[in-house]
Amino acid sequence: MSATLTGVLGPQGPIEDSALTATNYSNFEKFETMPPNEVIKWAIDNFGEDVVLAASFQDCVLVDVVTRVAPDIEVVFIDTGSHFKETLNYVDDIRARYDLRLVRLKPGYEAAKFPCGTDGCCEMKKVKPFDEFLKKNNVKAWISGIKRVDTAERNNAPVVGIDQARGIVKINPIVRWSDDDVESYSKLRNLPVHPMTAKGYLSIGCAPTTKPVELGSSPRSGRWSDQEKTECGLHLS
């Protein structure tokens, strides 16, 4: 395990501070030095059933980190209809391994009009189903696996902040981790790896817009590699 990961993971254990609320913006800074397990514990203490975990299933690191604290948390996977069959099989394997409360969101019929790779495609196949799910279920907070090293847009992402577009709390427990931290954690916990990782697919989204990555290149460089686009829209606020 890297020194960085040792520092941020910390021991599993209770935390005292459960008084923060979604509107108490000034206290969000204190999460910057809090280990992921404590951040997740805070989320569960404050939001209970109203916090969900959104998982892309390019690996199961975040699922493992979160379910060690909150084994019954609802896990949301957005099935755009364009995933690699390997990803869908991996989702099934991880669901069974962790006995996950898994919700698979699917786009509406109108999404078929939007070709893969266009902004409208992500909007209709990812953002809209997710937003509708959050609203319908009165979700107050969501947990994501983004990291600051992923993209320039994520450089300043907080550990806990407000998702401005949705008006709910967004929690990024491993946002400070490097790609090496993720790999180290996965090895340390002996986690199952997505079968395409070994083929150079280091960031895995939909099949039409995901390519393997050159040795030494950023893991995200294989996503929308022939476009300016770097984000699907789920994480823009």
The answer to whether residue 205 forms part of the interface with ligand SF4 (CB under 6 A) is: yes
Tokens of 73: 């948390």
Among 102, 149, 204, 232, binds ligand SF4 (CB under 6 A): 232
Across 123-149, b (16+ Cβ under 10 Å) vs e yields: bbbbbbbbeebbeeeebbbbbbbbbbb
Amino acid at 182: V
Strand partners, 129: none
User: How many amino acids of this chain bind ligand SF4 (CB under 6 A)?
Assistant: 13
Interface segment toward ligand SF4; rule CB under 6 A; list 4-12, 29-37, 158-166, 202-210? 202-210
Active site residue 60: no
**C-alpha span between 127 and 114 (Å, rounded):** 13
Beta strands in 150-228 (DSSP E): 160-163, 168-171
The answer to whether residue 206 forms part of the interface with ligand SF4 (CB under 6 A) is: yes
Comparison of 105 and 116: residue with beta carbon closer to ligand SF4: 116
13 contact partners, CB below 8 Å, separation of at least 6: 37, 38
The answer to whether residue 80 forms part of the interface with ligand SF4 (CB under 6 A) is: yes
Find tokens 């686009």 and name the residue: 229
Site for ligand SF4 in 209-228 (CB under 6 A): 209
Site for ligand SF4 in 85-144 (CB under 6 A): 116-117, 121-122, 125-126
Catalytic residue positions, numbered: 232
Site for ligand SF4, rule CB under 6 A = 80, 82, 116-117, 121-122, 125-126, 205-206, 208-209, 232
